[in-house]
Amino acid sequence: MFSTARHLLSTPNRRLHNLNRSLLLPVLFQSRVSVLSSPFPASFKMSTSAMAKRLEGKTIVITGASSGIGRSVAFEFARTAPKNLKLVLTARRIDTLNEVAAKINQEVGDGVKVLPVKLDVSNPNEVRAFVPGLPDEFRDINVLVNNAGLVKGVAKAPEIAEEDINVMFNTNVTGLINMTQAVLPIFKARGTEGGAGDIINIGSIAGREPYAGGSIYCATKAAVRSFSESLRKELIATRIRVMEIDPGQVETEFSVVRFYGDKAKADAVYAGCDPLTPDDIAEVVVFVAGRRENVVVADTLIFPSHQAGAGVLHKKST
């Protein structure tokens, strides 16, 4: 039921090690102490049940929910608050979203209402029509997870295809900004303190440490970082939380997309590595959304244990 607690309790070494590398260290350290020092992990269970209560009744929009991190985030929210939650899952592949929705309900039951919506975030007209097109019961959005994103190619300037430049900026930057602007009026109208709601932006280590062969992708993720920081400052007088999560290497369809569908090239990226799974990132996304209203986990960097930078990866010899 409380999957985050279950994961933390059942995989003591690798996952705690990975999470300790993030800026969540102080908060998780407390949880870890209670797990290790108490003969009964009841105190820990109580804290996750508080998290479930905070999430209950909320409406959560996830972009890029048809695959990888976004798909895992949908499952993790559903498992954490299975009694009363609304999920709006968006991506371009509607058939895949329908399958994800069915699997979620199969697993957690119908306490979680799931609405799959076909949405290309790189198309401003589709984003503009998104909120007005939602059924009333899904329109009171509490959490927006801006996850849709992609990388194309490894070309270096001046060989970078214009089409790739445009698709990366239109999706990772303009799409994320347009989604945020579409949802913010709902947040700003909520409560008496200038608004309330969560914007969780999925950035990347690439936004902090640019690398050769990734200039455009890195630039888009640096833009996400700047936008997130500006927005947090603009919303300082409200209860709207802007939180960024920057993953290192995660094994998803990401590299298959980067290499235009060449699975062999994508597999080679992960050879000899022990990358993060999308579930590892999903646990952190749900964790930050599940904090008390006055807690903003503003910025989080998450590596697998073999990684210490954008290009600093230890590969085991095979």
Ligand X SMILES: NC(=O)c1ccc[n+]([C@@H]2O[C@H](COP(=O)([O-])OP(=O)(O)OC[C@H]3O[C@@H](n4cnc5c(N)ncnc54)[C@H](OP(=O)(O)O)[C@@H]3O)[C@@H](O)[C@H]2O)c1
CA dihedral 249, 253, 254, 257 (to 10 degrees): 150
Using the minimum distance from each CB to ligand X, give the nearer residue, 187 or 303.
303
Give me 110's structure tokens.
């119908």
53, 118, 217, 265: the active-site residue: 217
- We find the least distance from the C-beta atom of residue 53 to ligand X, in angstroms, to be 28
Interaction residues for ligand X, span 1-60 (CB under 6 A): none
Number of residues forming the site for ligand X (CB under 6 A): 29
Looking at 73, 85, 87, 148, which residue binds ligand X (CB under 6 A)?
148
Question: Quick check: helix, strand or coil at residue 116?
Answer: strand
Q: Angle at Cα 293 formed by Cα 247 and Cα 226, nearest 5°?
A: 40
Judge whether 272 and 187 are in contact, CB under 8 Å.
Answer: no
Q: What does the alpha-carbon distance between residue 204 and residue 247 come to, in Å, rounded to a whole number?
A: 5
Measuring CA to CA, how many Å separate 204 from each of 66, 78, 301? 19, 25, 8
Looking at 140, 229, 253, 274, which residue binds ligand X (CB under 6 A)?
253
CB neighbour list of residue 68: distance below 8 Å, 6 or more residues apart: 250, 252, 253, 254, 278
58, 221, 265, 315: the active-site residue: 221
- We find the least distance from the C-beta atom of residue 38 to ligand X, in angstroms, to be 35
Residue 113 bears catalytic tag: no
- We find the least distance from the C-beta atom of residue 276 to ligand X, in angstroms, to be 7
Interaction residues for ligand X, span 95-134 (CB under 6 A): 119-122
Looking at 59, 64, 266, 284, which residue binds ligand X (CB under 6 A)?
64
Residue 188 bears catalytic tag: no
Question: Quick check: helix, strand or coil at residue 61?
Answer: strand
Instruction: Kindly state whether residue 273 participates in binding ligand X, applying the rule CB under 6 A.
Output: no
As annotated, the active-site residues are 217, 221
Contacts with ligand X by CB under 6 A lie at: 63-64, 66-70, 91-93, 119-122, 147-150, 171, 202, 204, 247, 249-250, 252-254, 257, 278
